[in-house]
Chain A
Amino acid sequence: MDPTQAGKRAWLHRRLKFGSVSVPAWIPYAFILPFFVIFCVFMLYPIVDTFIISFENWSASGSQWVGVHNYRLVLTDPAFWTSLLNDAFILLVQVPIMLFLATLLAVALHSKAIRFKWVFRLLVFFPVLVDAVTYTIAFQLIFNTNFGILNYLIHLVGFGTVNWTGNAWAARISIFMVVTWRWTGYNAIILLSGLQSIPEELYESAVVDGAGRVKTFFKLTIPLLRPILLFCAILSTVGTLQLFTEPYILTAGGPGSATETPMLYLYSIGFQNYNFGLASAGTYILTTIIGILSYLQIRASKGGDYHA
């Protein structure tokens, strides 16, 4: 018997100890093997392959290596920067407003004074159920310039007609509102679980110290929720940079390119022009941005007791 063969035998007979009993050492591999086969083919291979394609002028009949040419093209394309700027607006304005609303909502849902809390929780949670295409189509009519309920309400309080799809800022704000509608309740439920783990005594001592409600909210609740707010902020950042369905259906990136997002941009390069090399480079640029932003958010809130 050659040595490697003997090694294999020994390996097969090795055992994992659990107290007084032991099991064959290959058992855990049997648990994970089927998963990792599928995972490698449909997850890991595509992630690596996108990276390779990003350095190629891809074509089905044969691709040429073009180095960083695709990266250079994407980074010098004004349309790409426009789409990033549009997302930056959502990141800097919509995400903070939404997380603030979600925190208020979580505090309200946590309030001792409120009865039938579970009904409220269930109902504010409903938007999470609805798929993006369905709710975006509903909002299409809600934002309709001539017949939509939103302009009707705006008229009722005495303002003029807003052209939600024709005006650049109105279109951006319409996307902003749809995203806020979909995700505020979701974040509120996550924050609520954080509130429920804050000891009641902390609030009692704040009251004893004479802190008002507003002060308690900003000086006690928000700092204690910081780790969970961070988690929500990272989720929202990743989600915002991947925004696709809502602008695709509601505004198609328009008017002009006012609501173009990086994903719309990459979709049109990749699956309308079939320039896979360019789209792959763009995807990796976007992934890098997501990674950097997530890292910065974690760094910025260091000192909190966040455990991944």
Chain B
Amino acid sequence: MRSPFSMKFLTYAFLIVAVVVSIYPIYWIYVAGTLSDGQIFHYPPSNWFGSHLVSNVKALETSMPVWRDLANSIFVSGITTVSVVFFSSMVGYAFAKYQFWGKSFLFFVVLITIMIPIQTTLIPLFIIISKLHWQNSYQALIVPFLVNGFGVFFMRQQMQSFPEQLLEAARIDGSNEFRTFFRIVVPNVLPSLAALGILTFLQQWSNFIWPLVVINDRNRFTMPLMLQQLDQPGNVIHYGPIFAGAAIGLIPLMIVFVCLQRYFISGMYNGSVKG
């Protein structure tokens, strides 16, 4: 279809507005991170970088163990991501490629847990964590999120199209099933693993209500919890340092995204449309 000029112009205008609206709040986080509180609370609003980045970061360091909390977020999201990808690919493979007694029932149970909101588990998890005396521990942040239903569903969808001939050839060669899985299947589905990995990493990073419930030691804060604690009504709030912290916290997400964005978008297609 050829587009008339006015249509083309409208489409560009719409896209440019969409991009500006999408990017502006993120741009603003970086701008505000370099401004003093006086410059942030200024009318008309400043929209260009200032010179207070270093003093904002120093102020942030004195009120919160920011680097420790950043490391916590990377560590917790990293471990849970590796675990979710590992277990989901094994179980997804079993559901996609084997027939076994109880398979449909177990898969049904997994699907049901995807539909049930995560909040349904919060109270018993909190009781378990309290009984184990795990409050303010890394275990509390990590262990409940080692596996989830969505990952299994996602990997099963991905594994279903894996060519049977490859598996059969490996079996005829006498390779045992685990070796076949790790040596033949896994290297061939790396894009799917990357897609699930980035989805999981972002989701774990932004987990807020759970750390809010089980963590009150600032040395165990994750980045979102640290920012929220600085932003509590009733405190004297210094926005410059908060935004410097927000800007720091976005950097790992952007690195992960830029490295894996190809897989991210394909993963969203497959996780949603195929599903």
Contacts and interface: CB of A to CB of B under 8 A. Distances in A.
Give the contact-size bracket for chain B: 35 or more
Contacts of B261: 122, 125
A175 interface: no
B193 interface: no
Interface in B1-54: 1, 3, 7-8, 11-12, 14-15, 18-19, 21-26, 28-29, 32, 40-45, 47
B213 interface: yes
A129 B254 contact: yes
A193 B119 contact: no
Contacts of B122: 46, 270, 283
Q: B-side binding surface: helix, strand, loop or mixed?
A: helix
A308 B275 contact: yes
Given A43-B148, A112-B3, A242-B117, A126 B205 contact: no
Contacts of B120: 46-47, 50, 283-284, 287
A131 B121 contact: no
Contact of B146 (A42, A114, A263): A42
A203 interface: yes
12 contacts: A32-B90, A34-B87, A38-B87, A41-B128, A42-B128, A43-B121, A53-B124, A123-B23, A134-B223, A146-B41, A181-B22, A308-B275
Interface of A: 16, 18-21, 23, 25, 27-32, 34-36, 38-39, 41-47, 49-50, 53, 60, 104-105, 108-109, 111-114, 120-135, 137-142, 144, 146-149, 152, 181, 184-186, 189-190, 193-194, 197, 203-204, 207, 213, 228, 231, 235, 238, 241-242, 244-245, 249, 252, 263, 266-267, 270-271, 276, 279-280, 283-284, 286-287, 290-291, 294, 308
7 A-B pairs with the lowest CB-CB distances in the bound complex, closest first = A131-B206, A46-B121, A46-B124, A133-B224, A31-B94, A28-B98, A49-B124
